[in-house]
Chains A and B, each alone.
Chain A
């Protein structure tokens, strides 16, 4: 029988399916470069975005035409690559959020009756 995943591993696995949506969401607030997106995610409680970090995911979003990019200097610093959702990315975000909410509600319906007691 498969062992229960440790907490951080489960978090990573749960995030894996929606991290692209999270990235599209934070860059929809305003164009952002890689580290800036990490900070925005961290500000919302996603301190550890999981194995492999956001860079491969940003690469995939770019390859799939979900984001538009441009280069610009950041606060007098070096040139950075800024990302923002393309129209296809915005559509994918809307559809993805809808799917996420449906999945979350279904899982909540299953797990809601479970009473959790935290023993300190």
Chain B
């Protein structure tokens, strides 16, 4: 009989029944089973066919008493993946766009805000001034500049990795699927 109570206790723990309530139910059940045994009443006579299925019995009792924590609603369970889907899609699109921009030639956007060649610029020279042969001066970009495309690509890859991590976390925390009836 103590084995029956122990299996009930395990089931309540698995279902997330708060420990004090589980202990209370286990103590009541153990006392009743002991009384019954002392009077020659079998567990089957007391519990019916539930005597052979402690897990179902425990789940039924806890469920009827309303002490099993509510699982997250289906709506809120869906909301998280929608956010994740959005983040993943945004990161993936950004990766593709940044990669395309980089692949199609010279970066078109640069963090170098000015093409000026004035001498008072204190940062390392981002541009190399080549005196124009005649009228206009040419500005030639050098690799010292930080193209926005590279930064965008880096951030998008980080975001993609983060979304992958979120997906795996969400998958681990997802409640198990209900058994097919």
Flag if B65 contacts A53 (CB, 8 Å).
no
A-B pairs under 8 A by CB, number? 65
Give A59 to B67 CA distance when docked, in angstroms: 9
Flag if B63 contacts A56 (CB, 8 Å).
yes
- Of A56, A78, A79, A80, which is within 8 A of B64 by CB? A56
Give A55 to B66 CA distance when docked, in angstroms: 13
Give A47 to B36 CA distance when docked, in angstroms: 13
Beyond A78-B27, A80-B28, 7 additional pairs, beta carbon < 8 A: A34-B29, A48-B45, A52-B60, A53-B48, A57-B64, A59-B63, A80-B31
Chain B residue numbers with a CB within 8 Å of A28 are none
**8 Å CB interface, B9-66 against A:** 24-25, 27-29, 31-32, 35-36, 45-50, 57, 60-66
Contact surface of B with A, Cβ cutoff 8 Å: 24-25, 27-29, 31-32, 35-36, 45-50, 57, 60-67
- Nearest chain A CB to B29 CB, angstrom units: 7
Secondary structure dominating the interface of B = helix
Most chain A CB inside 10 Å of its own CB: which residue of B32, B46, B67: B32
Number of A residues near B (Cβ < 8 Å) is: 23
Chain B residue numbers with a CB within 8 Å of A63 are 64-66
Flag if A35 contacts B64 (CB, 8 Å).
no
CB pairs A–B below 8 angstroms (28 shown): A33-B31, A34-B28, A34-B29, A34-B32, A35-B35, A38-B32, A47-B45, A48-B45, A49-B48, A51-B50, A52-B47, A52-B50, A52-B60, A53-B47, A53-B50, A55-B29, A56-B60, A56-B61, A56-B64, A59-B61, A59-B62, A59-B63, A59-B65, A63-B64, A78-B27, A80-B28, A80-B31, A81-B24
- Nearest chain B CB to A40 CB, angstrom units: 13
- Nearest chain A CB to B63 CB, angstrom units: 7
Asked if A77 meets B64 with Cβ closer than 8 Å, knowing A47-B45, A51-B48, A53-B50, the reply is: no
Query: Which residue of B has the minimal Cβ distance to A77?
Result: B31
Q: Is A50 an interface residue (CB 8 A)?
A: yes
Chain A residue numbers with a CB within 8 Å of B61 are 55-56, 59
Chain A residue numbers with a CB within 8 Å of B28 are 33-34, 80-81
- Of A38, A47, A53, A78, which is within 8 A of B31 by CB? A78
Contact surface of A with B, Cβ cutoff 8 Å: 33-35, 38, 47-53, 55-57, 59-60, 62-63, 77-81
Give A77 to B38 CA distance when docked, in angstroms: 13
Flag if A60 contacts B45 (CB, 8 Å).
no
